Structure 1
Amino acid sequence: MAEHKTAAHAGPSLARRQTQQPDSFNQLKQQGLADIVSLAGKRWTDYNLHDPGITLLEQLCFSLTELQYRCDFDINQLLSNADGQIDYASLGLVAPQHILTSRPTTAADYRRYLLDQLPQLADIYLQADDSSGLYSAQALVASADIDVTQLEADIRRCYSAQRNLGEQLGEVNLLTPLACQPVAEIEIRAAADPVELLAEFYYCCQQLLQRSTERQSYADLLAQGHSYTELFDGPLTPGGVLQRAGQSASVQLHEFFQPLQSIAGVVQLTQFALRCNNNLYYDSLPLQQGLALYALQLPGDNADLSVQLLVGTKAVSVDITAVMQRYQQKLFRQQSRWQTDPDRLCPLPQGRYRPVAQYHSLQHLLPAEYKLALSAAQLQPPQWQLKGYLLLFEQLLANFLAQLQQLPALFSPGQTSQSYYWQTLTEQQISGISQLYPADINAQLAKLYQQFDNVLQRKHRLLDYLLALYGESLYQHSLQHYDYYHSAASSSARRLAQKIRYLKHIVTMTRDRVAAPDHYAPLWRDAVGGFVQKQAIVLDLGQTAQSLTTAVLQYKLRLSSKQRLQSLYLDETRADNLLHSVPAIRLLFAPDSAKARRRLASAVCLQADTLPQQMVQSGVALSNYRISLQQQRYQLLLKVPDSQHDEWWLCGSYRHYRSALILANCLSRFLCHISHTSEGLHLVEHVLLLSAKARARVPADYYAGRITILCPNWTARFADAGFQQLVSESLQLNCPAHLSCQVLFISFERMHRFERLFKYWRSAMKAQQDAVAESVALAQYLYALRKAAGLEDADAPAD
């Protein structure tokens, strides 16, 4: 009790803060004194405050706390530029409305998306067939004067732009809403505006009839306290968020009375009904194919007006034209309130520029007796010696602040030139500094820091951190074993560029990772889909936006799995003086440039228009080339891969060794170029070939839940069995679990024929034709390829 009374009668006080921060002034000083004791305790026993060494220690500790203070600035201040703006795109940061939203994945999501994209739709309902992957749609046109054929085409086009793998829109049934005309008798107050009241009456009826498409704006939902996670659940729809995901079972007229009775100026709703198909309904409205689909029928003139306004027992006349104008204004205001600019929806944090790199020398804080503030002409040797001693510490402090100022460049994915930063001090900061620095101080500091600045390794770690912000990672260890096209020095830079591409397309890599190709987009450019785009980056493929055979055909060449070149048989072990390895030299022109083509024109191996596939696979590596001197001519030879004998192909013959050397390097780079740019994949969803089911000679279960991915087998990497397994595992792992994914590796000739059939089929799909003949041809050829790979048991159709 005594202790309790003592505490109760104690005066107000602040408890002493117990801190264990290692970078506080006292902690730094105590640590410094402990280090001095351990290092110089036998020679230095005076640690009083008057000691100059202790004074310098205190100033250094104080300067370190200044670094801590600047590090504690908000991150948006440290990332802002001189204008106070933050370049979010260059930092790999994405706004919440783009990274949190998803593609349509359910029937309710598609309904929400389509109603947002197509104002000519009054409503639409989709139903999925789980066995086939087809959606059927029942759409309600907004008005009778809309072209239903064009509307159906627009629905299919919009659906295709957001389609997911293994799905397709099948039958679209367009319905005309039942026209409902209000029949009512309303007693109003004498002071009420009849035009405003009647316009509000029709507006309320319209809202109640089409309650299934009622929306709210994102701004209103944010104001109501909804979090970003709740707000961005589903596709982003700038036209507002639907309040009801499902369809209405029916419309009950008793639900109209309370809203209509609450209109300002209404005394009593004495009579109310809805006329549909010349019938009056007082309880509920009839359904149309099981759906509650209605549209408000407005009066064209006063003769069509079926709503009577009364003041007492006296009828009130009203200008119906003015009523309709006011009604349209209300609708426009409502739709405007729903509209939201996605880029302004979530204001991104703005920074305040902080010049954290500005350095204030600790010499200005030392006692005046040290005489360090004198001009350079007045300084004595002891002062110069102390300045030089302190510069060792001050340079570290200044470099730390320079590093802090360069945080935007450090975290920018596109900045890969350096990761360590420094600054040189000026005469304004420290008098006489120019006499302490060597003349080439900037060059020496740059050379010094470059020795320790492992840019690629540090950038890899920073990019891993940025990817982790989105819950993503990119494992590249397996790809390093199949890097046929780059040297060991450039391989790490290539992997870094791959991570940068992944981060720049982070929205596609996450939100659109199972997006299907849009068959209304231009072929070979945009019609690839998010699934293919992600796999192209993950596997570091050369391209996805063009034909895979174009990389060879554009040079008027073809590849053949059976073609061979002129062969020589030389025993390499017994002809060391005849066969010389080819060293790598630097070429100052691109592998596909006109100058390179002129060099390659003299190659014997390129005289014909058909090359062996094996040459593309083997010719990418300089180690497979040899130069032989025979009959006073230098012959460039290429080792035949998997040859049982010492077989070589003749690539060129020259009078000078230099010409053969240049050809070998030029040919290797050219084959690397066409090999890498031929790497990609084509994805075919069997459900899209359903129109061929009646005519194509394939099994009945060929169409449901299957996708086939075609890859080349003529490139250096894709000819490697290990890389083929890596590709197959990656594609099957990232494919949606409900789909069966099979990967085929086919020759150049088969790929060329497939792409021709695929192009005809895509053109017919884009033109919105039935595409039956094109689907039959593509389905049968694809089935034949699967049968040849052992993926089908039935007899394959004729090739």
Structure 2
Amino acid sequence: MNSKPIQIKKEGPSDYERLRDEALVMVQKLSGHIWTDYNIHDPGVTMLEQLCFAMTDLRYKTGFPIEEILAGPTGHIDPKAHAFFNKGEVLSSGPVTTTDFCKLLLGQVVGVEQVWIEPVVAKSGSTICKGIFKVLVQPDESITTTGQYDQLKEDVKGCLMRYRSLGENFEEITILRPLNIAIKAAILVDGKQHVKETLAYICNTIEQTIHPPVRFLSEAELLAMGKTTEEIYSGPLLSGGFIPDEDLKPLRIQVDPAELIKAISSLDGVLQVKYLYLSLDGNNFSNKQVRIPSGYFASVDISNSMNDISIVSDQFEHHSQDALFWNVFERIKEIRKRHYTGQQVAMIDTTLQSTYRDLGKYYSIQHFFPAIYGIGREGISKDETDARKAQAKQLKGYLLFFEQVLANYAAQLGNISHFFSPAEKSTYFSQSLDDVPGIAQLLDPGYLDALPQTGESNERKEAVLDHLLARFNLPLLPYPITLFQRLYGGISTLEWKAGLLKKLPDLMYARIQAEAGGYQEALRQLLFIHQEQGERLTAVFEKSHLSITNDHPSEEFTVYISDEILHVVSEIPPDEEGYYFGHQPLHLLKYGIDPVHYRIVENHDHYLVLYKSPGQRIWQAVARHTTREAALAAQIAMIRHLKNISIQSEGFYVVEHTLLKPLFTDPVYGFRVKNSKGEVLKEAHHLTFVDREKALEDVSGHIEFFVMATPWHVLPESFFKFNITIVLSAWPARCQYEEFRRFTESLFRDLTPTQYKLKFRWLGVNDMRKFEAAYFDQDNKDKILDFLT
């Protein structure tokens, strides 16, 4: 058996000679029986050689580096025009993990020195705490000196709630208070060291050991540390730089003198730590560990007089902290806590530059023909016969067919940036043959106007956009936009995809964030819903001049049209123009936008616009006008108005059950202990979450947990665990199609994390008004719980 691997030979370069030889072979096969002279002087060979030369030139242009092909006249490559996104936009994301949220607070909230975020855990097995986190914040000196703890708590809460993930909540936020620890120590140092500088380094090391600062590093530093680009840009993008994961230390619950001695001993010039004692009151010093009580963080104030840190050198002992000491101490402190404030801006403002080649310019091959042909810039001699002049013009016209193909190829290459641009609809590009000598004698000026009209469809551009969107694992199903276009018009699938591509970085960054601009905005964009944030879906009926009820008594009559009899009911007031649909069901919004359900008939001295939905027997007179033209205009206006009502009222609300849970500090938690028969053995009410945990320590058996969400709503804990209710408007035309409802629910499930259980409620106008009254009343949970339960 031959073990030699099979290799596929690659063809050689498409140079001019090979192209010419292959072309001659093809010509000989096609016309060898009628054309036998293939020598270099043959005019056919000359034309073939010029075409081969032009094709070789196009191949040469195509071989330029892609950055030179994309560069504009100034050498700049516009990222937006080419759908280029920088690494910060495509690799980063909104905060997801607790580490991400810690970095977010450190980078966005002024006054945060360190932060710890932990999930709330119930030892009893209760599941109500799923998705609930507690936050501990260590403030910096600007907060501890001014005492602005409440303001810092509000800032932290606002930041977390703005970026929180779907179904999660940050309920307990604690701003830790400093617990000052006094230090008494004697350190033996090398006499060759500068005493004040050594003391400054020792004091700084003590501070760094007890609460090391968080560093903001540059991308270059992290790359040098062995981090990959994907690791660096994982998580939220911060304006100050990047925070290494290893800088997020666990919360210190004790201070060990042995740890401080080890850190001090590692400094250059330190020979021995003779002793090191700690104290909380400045009097009772000990070499034992100091425990940090809950609600506090360990702090060391070097300037505090309770500290007694001495340096022993050459039998001399030094205690003083003069100006030299403080200069060195502050300088060391600042260097270790430096921030790269321009890191993100510099990354985003990075420009793409290359050499501009002007590849779209076409130079006619007729310039290269021998002068005897008479088709170049010099043209043919005036002394030639008319027949000879006609032959030259005929040759020029013959060559135009080839030249247009060559020129269009150059135009395509020169417009490659527009090919990928979301803002550009065309994918085929052409140009006129302005460089051909004497072109005005051959082509009518109308040719230039007709040339760009290639009859290009949108399918080719859509395929380009699909390719660009697929880079981000975002395959789009066009069903919602095609249904929108069929019912309402005004938008194409191409425009929808181009708009999505432009918004893609923001949508992907915040795709699971619960607040505005995240999860909900992504769904609105994919479903092409125009809902405004904070706008009630039923508000359109308050602003609409559509009348669905009328106090004017109805009038029934019959209209005869040729051999057809129409039974009509009218509620239009006398001598009034407008449109009145009377008491119509909501499927008016579905069928009322289709002209086939209308008739314009003459009745006495007026023209009536009649409407009838499928299945109805009687026509409804919805408008009356004196002329047919006015009636037709009223029909068009009615249809447009009904479409606008549907478009403006399409939307949904997301109700996160987690946010409806009472605070853990509220005395509303209880439990029941049941036997195997389901009989209650023990029951407790009105406990806080912590008190209930203590009460359950000695209880075993069948336990049922419940929460008194309000005095009228005693709910099982499972109601709050990863449950989300999606409330949608059922009346818009698109939403009345069962296929659209199924598609919408499926899309919600695809974009929602799998641990959440979704429940869908499609509501009519009246039910939606009741729900909105409860939804927008943030201070009263009774109404929303009434709706959900």
TM range (shorter): 0.7 to 0.9
Which residue of the partner structure matches residue 655 of structure 1?
626
DSSP 3-state at the match of 1:152 = helix
Aligned partner of residue 640 in structure 1, secondary structure: coil
Q: 1:93 to 1:273 in 2, by over 3 A?
A: farther
* Displacement of 1:222: 2.5
AA matched with 1:260? I
Which amino acid in 1 is paired with 2:757? Answer: S
Q: What are the Cα deviations for residues 543-572 of structure 1, in whole angstroms up to 9, with x where unaligned? A: 242221222322366878x99995868799
Cα separation, partners in 2 of 1:19 and 1:725, compared to 1, 3 Å: closer
Q: Do structure 1's residue 45 and structure 2's residue 33 form an aligned pair?
A: no
Please name the residue that 1:506 is paired with: 504
Partners of 1:563 and 1:263 in 2: how far apart?
A: 92
Partner deviation per Cα, 1:585-618 (whole Å, 9 max, x = no partner): xxxxxxxxxxxxxxx9821417x9x975343332
Q: In structure 2, what is the equivalent of residue 780 of structure 1?
A: 786
CA distance in 1 between counterparts of 2:548 and 2:235 reads 47
1:58 aligns with 2:49: yes
Cα distance, 1:200 vs structure 2: 3.0
Separation in 1, partners of 2:618, 2:148: 70
Confirm whether residue 423 of structure 1 aligns to residue 431 of structure 2.
yes
Partner of 1:751: 768
Q: Deviations over 1:458-497 (max 9, x none)?
A: 221111011012221111146535645335xx6xx52222
Determine if the alignment matches structure 1 residue 740 to structure 2 residue 757: yes
Indicate whether 1:409 and 2:418 are aligned. Answer: yes
Separation in structure 2 between the aligned mates of residue 621 and residue 406 of structure 1, nearest angstrom:
42
Matched, 1:548 2:537: yes
SS in 2 for 1:760: coil
Q: Does the aligned pair in 1 maintain the 2:577–2:625 contact within 8 Å?
A: no
Q: 1:50–1:661: structure 2 CA closer, same or farther, 3 Å change rule?
A: same
Deviation string, structure 1 residues 277-315 (Cα, Å, up to 9, x no partner):
4354546542444x9942232215xx5562223441234
Aligned match of 1:532: 520
CA distance in 2, matches of 1:189, 1:637: 104
Aligned mates of 1:20, 1:282 — CA distance in 2 = 81
Aligned to 1:768: none
1:137 aligns with 2:146: no
Amino acid of the structure 2 residue aligned with 1:108 = T
1:317, distance to aligned residue in structure 2 (A): 6.6
* Matched-pair identity in %: 24
Is 1:625 the equivalent of 2:598?
A: yes
Alignment deviations for residues 488-520 of structure 1 (CA, whole Å, 9 cap, x no partner): xx6xx5222221222122124323222102xxx
The answer for the alignment partner of 1:635 in structure 2 is 608
Segments of structure 2 that go 5 or more residues without pairing to the other structure are 1-7, 122-126, 569-574, 663-707
TM-aligned CA distance change 1:246 to 1:473, over 3 Å: farther
Instruction: Give the secondary structure class of the aligned counterpart of 2:620.
Output: strand
Question: Partners of 2:379 and 2:566 in 1: how far apart?
Answer: 71
Q: Does 2:578 align with 1:603? A: yes
1:721 is matched with which residue: 735, 738, 754?
A: 738
**Aligned-residue CA RMSD (Å):** 3.4
- Superposition deviation, residue 181 in structure 1: 4.0
Amino acid at match of 1:553: E
Residues 18 and 404 of structure 1: is their aligned pair in 2 closer, same or farther, counting only changes over 3 Å?
same
In structure 1, how many angstroms separate the alpha carbons of the residues matched to 2:412 and 2:558?
60
The letter for the 2-side match of 1:699 is L
Equivalent position SS for 2:77: coil
One-letter amino acid of the counterpart of residue 605, structure 2? Q
Residue in 2 aligned with 1:682? 653
Aligned to 1:461: 463
The Cα of 1:679 is off from its aligned counterpart by 0.5
- Is the 1:637–1:648 Cα contact (8 Å) retained in structure 2? yes
Q: Describe the SS at the equivalent of 1:497.
A: helix
Cα offset for 1:726?
Answer: 2.0
Distance of aligned partners of 1:601 and 1:752 in 2 relative to their CA distance in 1, 3 Å threshold: farther
* Equivalent AA in structure 1 for residue 504 of structure 2: I
**Relative to 1, partners in 2 of residues 1:296 and 1:436: Cα closer, same or farther, differing over 3 Å?**
farther
2:445 maps to what in 1?
439
Q: Identify if the C-alpha distance between structure 1 residues 308 and 42 changes in structure 2 by more than 3 Å, giving closer, same or farther.
A: same
SS of alignment partner, residue 395 of structure 1: helix
2:559 touches 2:566 (CA, 8 Å); kept in 1? no
Deviation at 1:444, TM superposition (A): 2.9
Q: Hey, what does 2:680 align to over in structure 1?
A: none
Q: CA deviation at 1:689?
A: 0.8
TM-score normalised over the length of structure 2: 0.81
Q: Residue 343 and residue 465 in structure 1: after superposition, are their counterparts in 2 closer, same or farther (change >3 A)?
A: farther
Task: State the distance in 1 between where 2:612 and 2:466 align.
Answer: 41
Within a 5 Å distance, the mapping from 1:115-130 to structure 2 comes to 115-129=106-120
In structure 2, C-alpha distance between the alignment counterparts of 1:625 and 1:698, rounded to whole Å: 53
Structure 1 stretch 269-278 or stretch 133-142: which is displaced more? 269-278
Secondary structure at 1:126 match in 2: strand
Aligned equivalent of 1:351: 354
- Provide, for residues 312-342 of structure 1, a one-character-per-residue CA deviation record: whole Å limited to 9, x for no partner: 1234575545544543444444443454532
Partner of residue 86, structure 1: 77
8 Å Cα contact 2:660-2:781 kept in structure 1: yes
Between 1:114-123 and 1:700-709, the stretch displaced more is 114-123
Hey, what's the Cα distance between the residues in 2 that align with 1:685 and 1:25? 69
Q: Cα offset for 1:106?
A: 1.9
Query: Is the contact made by 1:484 and 1:621 (CA closer than 8 Å) also made in structure 2?
Result: no
Given that residues 95 and 101 in structure 2 are in contact (C-alpha distance below 8 angstroms), is that contact kept between their aligned partners in structure 1? yes
Is it true that 1:114 corresponds to 2:105 in the alignment? yes
Among 335, 344, 350, the alignment partner of 1:342 is 344
Cα drift, residue 140 of structure 1: 2.6
Deviates more, 1:622-631 or 1:124-133: 124-133
2: CA distance between counterparts of 1:72 and 1:713? 56
TM-score (norm 1): 0.80
SS in 1 for 2:493: helix
Distance 1:205 1:340 in 2: 30
* 1:796 alignment counterpart: none
2:222 maps to 221
- What are the superposed Cα offsets for residues 24-62 of structure 1, whole Å, 9 maximum, x if unpaired? 434433432233133212112333334332233223222
- Cα distance in structure 2, aligned partners of 1:364 and 1:18: 38
Change (3 A) 1:376 1:44: closer
Compute the displacement of 1:265 (Å). 5.6
**Match of residue 674 from structure 2:** none
Change (3 A) 1:264 1:412: same
| Cα deviation 1:100-129 (Å, max 9, x = unaligned) | 112222222222222222242232222224
Q: Look up the equivalent residue of 1:782 and give its one-letter code.
A: L
**Paired residues of 2:117 and 2:136 also in contact (CA < 8 A):** yes
Q: 1:360 to 1:137 in 2, by over 3 A?
A: same
Q: State the shift of 1:660 in Å.
A: 0.5
CA distance in 2, matches of 1:601, 1:443: 51
**CA displacement 1:316-371 (0-9 Å, x = unmatched):** 57554554454344444444345453232374543332211122333344445545
Q: Distance in 2 between matches of 1:573 and 1:403?
A: 59
Question: Per the alignment, do residues 352 and 295 of structure 1 end up closer, same or farther by CA in structure 2, a change over 3 Å counting?
Answer: farther
Give the superposition deviation at 1:75.
Answer: 2.5
Say yes or no: does 1:470 pair with 2:472: yes
Select 2:397's aligned residue among 388, 401, 409. Answer: 388
Q: Which amino acid aligns with 1:236?
A: L
Distance in 1 (alpha carbons) for counterparts of 2:420 and 2:567: 50
Alignment match, 2:301? 297
Counterparts in 2 of 1:696 and 1:217: CA distance versus 1, 3 Å: farther
Residues 340, 201 of structure 1: alpha-carbon distance in 2 compared, 3 angstrom cutoff: farther
* Cα-to-partner distance string for 1:390-427 (whole Å, 9 max, x where unaligned): 332222212211121112222111222x332222233x
Quick one: which of 284, 288, 291 aligns to 1:286? Answer: 291
1:630 corresponds to which letter in structure 2?
A: N
1:376 Cα deviation from its structure 2 partner: 3.8
Equivalent residue for 1:231? 232
Is the Cα–Cα contact under 8 Å of residues 636 and 660 in structure 1 kept in the other structure? yes
Contact between 2:38 and 2:45, CA under 8 Å: does it hold in 1? Answer: yes
Question: Which residue is equivalent to 2:160?
Answer: 159
Q: Read off the aligned partner of 2:82 and give its amino acid letter.
A: L
Task: In structure 2, give the amino acid aligned to 1:540.
Answer: F
How far, CA to CA, are the matches of 1:90 and 1:659 in structure 2?
46
Cα distance in 1 for residues equivalent to 2:35 and 2:599: 72
3-state SS, counterpart of residue 111 of structure 1 = helix
Shift of 1:662: 0.3
Q: Which residue of 2 is the match for residue 792 of structure 1?
A: none
